[in-house]
């Protein structure tokens, strides 16, 4: 279970870095969510789409708070 949690943390970190880099490039929120889902599916091919969407949106909200 620890390995899965570490892998999840790495995945979320990669998504956060990708979204942070793309945030200033005028991508729509839908495009950013799609990119987050692709990264999530790379790390966890059998994961439910709901989890990928939920975590990606959570990261986007956290990044918005940092900017404000």
Q: For residue range 32-60, what is the model confidence (pLDDT) as tens digits?
A: 889 888 998 998 888 888 888 888 888 88
Contacts with 11 (C-beta within 8 Å, 6 or more apart), sequence order: 39, 40, 43, 44
pLDDT recorded at residue 3: 60
Q: What is the DSSP string of 1-68?
A: -HHHHHHHHHHHHHHHHHHHHHGGGT--HHHHHHHHHHHHHHH-TT--HHHHHHHHHHHHHHHHHHH-
Q: Report the predicted TM-score, pTM, of the whole model to 2 decimal places.
A: 0.75
Average pLDDT for 19-34: 81
Average pLDDT for 22-28: 76
Q: Per-domain residue ranges for the chain?
A: 2-67
pLDDT recorded at residue 67: 57
């Amino acid at each position: 279970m620890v390995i899965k949690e570490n892998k999840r943390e790495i995945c979320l970190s990669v998504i956060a870095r990708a979204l942070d880099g793309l945030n200033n490039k005028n991508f729509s929120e839908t495009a950013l969510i799609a990119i987050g889902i692709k990264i999530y599916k790379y790390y966890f091919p059998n994961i439910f789409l709901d989890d990928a969407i939920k975590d990606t949106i959570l990261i986007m909200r956290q990044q918005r708070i940092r900017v404000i």
